[in-house]
Amino acid sequence: MGCVAHVKPWVSTENHESVSHECQERMRRTKAVLDEVARESERLADWLYFVYVPALAEGGPTHQRLFDAIETQWQQANHVSDRLPIAPLRSLIPLIVGGFALKMGGSHELISRNFLSNEPPTFTRSYLINALVEHDCYVAGDNSEAYKQKQRESYRIQWFSWQHHIQLLVQFLLQWDQAARTLFKNKLG
């Protein structure tokens, strides 16, 4: 969580015990509100856990459920083109969601957030191309430099199409984030 005692242990607190109690109370309250969110929308609760309060997340199964839900809804919403293979795009979902977690949440406390930032994470073209190439290498079982170079060149040539779909994915995730934060604030009361 984002309690001063946990995030900045070097900060002296006169009454460390009361700060610790306050942190535990905030954690309990956050968990209770997230449970209410989950009753209404499990996918949005998974998003909030992953992006804003990973310390409370259940880990692997929750993350996979989140990535699967994003993939399914994103494909339905955007009618992904048959020209681009979906598997490489699917491989970028955890990477981009992780970027949201680093940019917007991390270990910050959800309760005390004003949610002023609505900026998506940014990734360089070469970083995304390398991630796509790594996925291709894994699928093909070929980790040779020649294969990597061939794949990189292919992605560079087709980058405009890939970039368009990646931007659609980021915009879609911004909408998810907004919906999740709104639902959390409504449940928080």
Per-residue confidence in pLDDT tens, the chain, 189 aa: 445 444 444 445 555 565 677 778 878 888 889 999 999 999 999 999 888 887 777 667 788 888 889 888 877 877 665 556 778 888 899 899 888 888 876 544 455 555 555 678 889 999 999 999 999 999 999 999 999 999 999 999 999 989 988 898 899 899 998 999 899 989 987
The Cα 162–Cα 32 span in angstroms is: 40
- For residues 92 and 169, the answer to whether their CB atoms sit within 8 Å is yes
Phi, psi of 62 (to 5 degrees): -65, -45
The Cα 44–Cα 158 span in angstroms is: 33
Burial class of residue 108 (count of CB atoms within 10 Å of its CB; 0-12, 13-18, 19+): middle
Q: How far is CA 159 from CA 75, 79, 124, 128, 148, in A?
A: 19, 19, 12, 10, 16
Domain of residue 109 covers 4-188
Which segments within the chain are labelled E, that is strand? none
pLDDT of 44 reads: 93
pTM: 0.77
pLDDT of 130 reads: 95
Contacts 24+ apart (CB under 8 A), 158-164: 158/84, 159/125, 159/129, 161/81, 161/83, 161/84, 162/84, 162/128, 162/132, 163/125
The Cα 160–Cα 156 span in angstroms is: 8
Give how many domains the chain has, as a whole number.
1
Q: How far is CA 90 from CA 9, 67, 110, 130, in A?
A: 38, 9, 28, 15
pLDDT of 10 reads: 46
Q: Residue type for 110, please?
A: L
Phi, psi of 130 (to 5 degrees): -60, -35
Q: How far is CA 174 from CA 31, 43, 52, 167, 168, in A?
A: 23, 14, 14, 10, 10
